[in-house]
Structure 1
């Protein structure tokens, strides 16, 4: 069901060149439905995938973006860079704190995940650009899992949107992925999605969370949805 893999996020050089371009006019994170829930048992992280995955995008069937955005709109919320970089924990609107806090007051998705860089401005942006956006059905190509470590370790290396060097990748996943784990701390689950009726790779939707002891077992805490900008 899975293969051992270390996948490095692509396009870092190009994205870094755009680092200074993010502004308050940048689009918000895209909306999607790819994971229903994540739970932790005694030795397994259980990932329940969405029965009907979808993503909202400005892509159209001709392969172009409607109303092509400027450079700062093309840049995602972030890539896997260390704390302090513009693509790391900072920049953009909405709640950004993860290991450092902010989960309780962050805007939430319909599944109860804290919405990184989301908020009221995002809802307004979607309302204003409704005619530019389509919702596409997607299939789930891969699921990646990465362990980051303790709060302090994660605080020093909080990734932004996009793939990271996964510890393990599950190809053509079933409805449920069961990932064995031994250590508590921060994890990322990423889902690689592609269009069902359009020939488009939509990249990765990512979810960061902390596995904490909950005797006699474990629980998932501080759940964040980390999405690229639409």
Structure 2
């Protein structure tokens, strides 16, 4: 799903307001072809970067929400996406609102090298500030959730749920199979397998996620 379609499915109609003031990415390392890829992705998705963030309501319950979009360079994490996610947590902290983060990513963006990898820790630092206030955060892992994203903030929210049949892992199946020289189970890196091994809290069909989130948010409302 595109970020726009996901928001239409999850939040109340006309309730979403984009809150991010962060601009689109720059080719700081002057990687050949990166500017063209950014431009093509922006035209294709009508987004500045691989995530949309803002304030909305889910069944009249206020929330800060972020939705990553795999159509934008496979939803990869770079300096701009990292800045936007940090901004999401800190805005939620300032407004005393919960956070819901839909994750779809191939991992860190190679065109920004180590600067992409640094986002893993800087996002967690902002989340740590958010956590100090006892506010609730929810991850919804969608297909795919991979690489440095799965290895950092994707699994660090208070409640981690996954969309049915989503692929979730670190390295790809072929890389792991070639490394360990063993056959892998059919269900390897599936949402259902992660639930079986206690790595996610629940696995839901796409059409049930909105109701599930509303229930969690209602249970964690502040008076």
TM-score of the aligned structures, taking structure 2 as reference length: 0.27
Which has the larger share of helix?
2
Which has the larger share of strand?
1
